[in-house]
Amino acid sequence: MSHPTVTPASAPNIVADTICRTAELGLSIDNAADAGNTTHLYCHPVTVTTACPHCGQVSRVRDHVDRRLTDLPIAGHPSILHVRTPRLTCGNEDCPVSIFRMPIRSAAADRQSVTLRVTRWILQRMATDAMSVAACARALGLGWKTVCRLATDACRHLAYGDTHRLDHVRVLGVDEHKWKHVRGDGSSSFVTVIVDLTPQVDGTGPARLLDMVPGRSADAFGDWLAARPQCFRDTVKTVTMDGYSGYAKAASQQIGKARQVMDPFHVVHLAANKLDLCRQRIQNETTGHRGRSGDPLYGIRRAMMTRIRLVTPAKAEKLDEVLTDDKHVAVQVTWQVYQQIIAAFDEPVARDGKRRLFKVLERIKSGLPAGLGELATLGRTLWRKRSQILAYFDTGATNGPVEARLNGRLEHLRGIALGFRNLEHYILRSLIHSGGLRGAVDAL
């Protein structure tokens, strides 16, 4: 280590304290040293407290010790604070404490080797800048395990220790998510994602990840709801979900007054799946093999899934040519229903969209001609869930933020973390990475 640059004791340290912002820690810089990749700052507490922490009696200074604290990076390099901390002797003979080190709680908690603002900095970098634990550890000059422990412990306190975090949740979104891709691992690879969609519905901000629970069953969601306060369950007015009956059952049992909404994404996805199955069946019946390059139906498989107003003129002409073939009439009818469902959800006036979609569901619920098996199955399913499907037009609630924004964030998290093996860590890291705790982090 090079020799420290000594500042005379009589000289003011306002420049150094301002640049490094040590005043907010209750510290003042005396000396500094450049040790290659690390900056060492030698500080002293601005205020000295001589009261015994146990009995409160005024104590005398015995000596001073050097307390090392990792602080925020300076100019892209890790920094370490060497705080000259008084060690005191309690004069009360009845006090069990004889010698103690003066606490500097404005800078760091007892028995901690990092300043208080380091934890906030880690959470901000992970929640706002989507940084990985490894990147934060390199910037601070700390070990990966230390940074991960600081982040998860703080997140556990912010997410589960804040009793007001669930206040004002009126619209709840629930969906399944695969947190690890392991062959043959079954349902243990899935978690139930629970999201606050209230800000998105009100137009005041993005959706907020509330929690994740292991599994994807009615019990997983139901037990989570049952563990919440009654006032929370009474506040929830709308629950959006996919077509899985387990989540609907849990919502009916725990928050029966809340209106259930089957998300438009899942309705359209279900129709698209039936359209694809119909195309595959007709493909085999007409050609005797699965789709190959040059086959008419195989060539339009992507164009069929596209919203009709977004199809290019060349693709539209190809669609018309293939679908008007008498051999492909089943695909044509199913495709038309698929496009009608999309158009209903795309109506600018909710009342018009609801009326239009109801007519489509009523038309395909029963009595379809032979050869439209996939469409008949779709019609029965959608008619059975029509109250949940049509509720979207009344509430405006959608699981779109869960499917798009949050799932994208979680996929990015798994990528920068190179996978997870610990589910608890994955849940805590997801709460940080999704940005749902950003307000609480900034308030630290």
pLDDT in tens, 201-240: 888 888 888 999 998 899 999 999 999 999 999 999 999 9
The pLDDT > 70 percentage for the chain reads: 95
∠ CA 170-174-177, nearest 5°, is 150
Lowest mean pLDDT among 8-12, 41-45, 200-204, 325-329: 8-12
Q: For the chain, give the secondary structure using H, E and C.
A: CCCCEECCCCCCCHHHHHHHCHHHHCEEEEEEEEECCEEEEEEEECCCCCECCCCCCECEEEEEEEEEEEEEEECCEEEEEEEEEEEEECCCCCCCCCEEECCCCCCCCCCCCECHHHHHHHHHHHHHCCCCHHHHHHHHCCCHHHHHHHHHHHHHHHHHCCCCCCCCCCEEEEEEEECCCCCCCHHHHEEEEEEECHHHHHCCCCCEEEEEEECCCHHHHHHHHHHCCHHHHHHCCEEEECCCHHHHHHHHHHCCCCEEEECHHHHHHHHHHHHHHHHHHHHHHHHCCCCCCCCHHHHCHHHHHCCHHHCCHHHHHHHHHHHCCHHHHHHHHHHHHHHHHHHHHCCCCHHHHHHHHHHHHHHHCCCCCCCCHHHHHHHHHHHHCHHHHHHHHHHCCCCHHHHHHHHHHHHHHHHHCCCCCCHHHHHHHHHHHCCCCHHHHHCC
Tokens at 104, concatenated: 């500097």
Give the tens place of pLDDT for each residue, 55-78: 888 888 888 899 999 999 998 899
Lowest mean pLDDT among 101-110, 254-263, 300-309: 101-110
19 pLDDT more than 60 = yes
| d(C-alpha 158, C-alpha 8), whole Å | 43
341 pLDDT more than 50 = yes
- DSSP character at residue 53: T
The pLDDT > 90 percentage for the chain reads: 55
Helix axes 350-364, 373-384, angle to 10 degrees: 130
> The whole model's pTM is what?
0.80
Q: What is the pLDDT of residue 438?
A: 77
Greater pLDDT, 96 or 342: 342
The alpha helices in 102-257, defined as continuous H runs, are 116-128, 133-140, 144-160, 198-202, 218-227, 230-235, 245-254
Q: What is the pLDDT of residue 187?
A: 59
In the structure, what pLDDT confidence band is assigned to residue 184 with cuts at 50, 70 and 90? low
Strongest mean pLDDT among 12-21, 287-296, 349-358: 349-358
Give the tens place of pLDDT for each residue, 66-113: 999 999 999 889 999 999 999 888 878 788 888 888 888 889 988 889
Q: What is the pLDDT of residue 7?
A: 39
Greater pLDDT, 439 or 47: 47
- DSSP character at residue 228: S
Residue partners of 407: CB distance under 8 A and separation at least 6: 177
Greater pLDDT, 12 or 179: 179
Give the tens place of pLDDT for each residue, 350-406: 999 999 999 999 999 999 999 999 999 999 999 999 999 999 999 988 887 677 778
Greater pLDDT, 391 or 443: 391
Q: What is the pLDDT of residue 444?
A: 67
4 pLDDT more than 70 = no
Give me the chain's average pLDDT, please. Answer: 88
Q: What is the pLDDT of residue 354?
A: 96
3 pLDDT more than 60 = no
In the structure, what pLDDT confidence band is assigned to residue 8 with cuts at 50, 70 and 90? very low
In the structure, what pLDDT confidence band is assigned to residue 186 with cuts at 50, 70 and 90? low
Q: What is the pLDDT of residue 102?
A: 87
Tokens at 120, concatenated: 């906030």
Greater pLDDT, 338 or 418: 338
∠ CA 343-345-348, nearest 5°, is 90
